[in-house]
Amino acid sequence: MDIFNLIKQECRRRGLSERTIETYCFCTDKFLKWIKKEPKQVTKQDIKNFMTYIMEKGRSGSTLNVYVNALKFMIEEVLSKRILINLKYSKVPKTLPVFLTKEEVRKLVSSIKNAKHKLMVELMYSAGLRVSELINLKVEDLDLNSRIGWVRNGKGRKDRLFVVADSLLKILGNYLILNNIGEGYLFLGRNNSHIHQRSLQNIVKMAAKKAGIKKKVHCHTLRHSFATHLVENGYDVATVQSLLGHSSSRTTMVYIHMASPKLVNVKSPLDSL
């Protein structure tokens, strides 16, 4: 039995993301190598013993829950065994995500000398794109005349519209002409495929270091910065939620707490006494 192929098939049938598929296969592989049993021979006690082993290695509650979900999917959804796995672990309390100030974004972008690299980072920040969304962008996803673009099959398998910054319209147009790109992926890597996610992550990290930014900066930091700056510029939660592609406004509300009180016109109740 090729359990990994079965997991992939069932995940894709349910429309789960490739990242989820990769995670489920990774967790299942770790478990089967540890338990040294065929998948159909696995018991509920085997899973409990494995989870105790993982917990004793100091893994976070979030990581433990990912393992439980992966193993539960393999046992209950792929193998159709009903052994009622109901294990839950305490998650690490959520902290506010790191974001850059507008000045820090300017410094980061200015530190990038390669034109293509700079364009990728500017587009990712200006539209609040996830790194996976940026690298999968295709020429046909852009409508520069209307100043918009489309994320296709984003998180949750959803399409959403994004706004192309006015300052990038001419730059994008020239980029397409100079590189003779008429269709397919917007940012090519090797073998005519899109640029690799890790390459973009390295570009952002090196730019932050060169710009002298002391914060821990990742590609997703630019998305957090985009959302926070929209709130600071006076846009409402519903608008920001739509541009980020969040299913719930509760997810978007975190950016209200991150934005500068002065810029979002919040006054202390002391002032009304």
Going by CATH, does the domain composed of 102-136+185-258 fall within 2.40.50.140? no
Our answer to whether residue 194 is catalytic in this structure is no
Our answer to whether residue 130 is catalytic in this structure is yes
* pTM, rounded to two decimals: 0.68
pLDDT recorded at residue 102: 92
Q: 3-78: which CATH topology? A: DNA polymerase; domain 1 (1.10.150)
Q: How far apart are CA 43 and CA 37, in angstroms?
A: 10
pLDDT recorded at residue 225: 92
Our answer to whether residue 220 is catalytic in this structure is yes
pLDDT recorded at residue 232: 86
pLDDT recorded at residue 90: 62
Our answer to whether residue 175 is catalytic in this structure is no
Our answer to whether residue 255 is catalytic in this structure is yes
pLDDT digits (tens, 9 = 90+) for 230-258: 888 888 888 888 888 887 777 777 777 66
pLDDT recorded at residue 273: 43
Catalytic residue among 130, 194, 224, 229: 130
pLDDT recorded at residue 89: 67
Under a CB-based contact definition with an 8 Å cutoff, are residues 139 and 181 in contact?
Answer: yes
pLDDT digits (tens, 9 = 90+) for 179-225: 988 889 999 888 778 999 899 999 999 999 999 999 999 999 999 99
Q: What residue spans define the domains of the chain?
A: 3-78, 102-136+185-258
Catalytic residue among 44, 72, 116, 220: 220
pLDDT recorded at residue 93: 57
Catalytic residue among 118, 223, 224, 229: 223
Q: With a cut of 50, list the residues of the chain below it in pLDDT.
A: 268, 270, 273
Our answer to whether residue 36 is catalytic in this structure is no
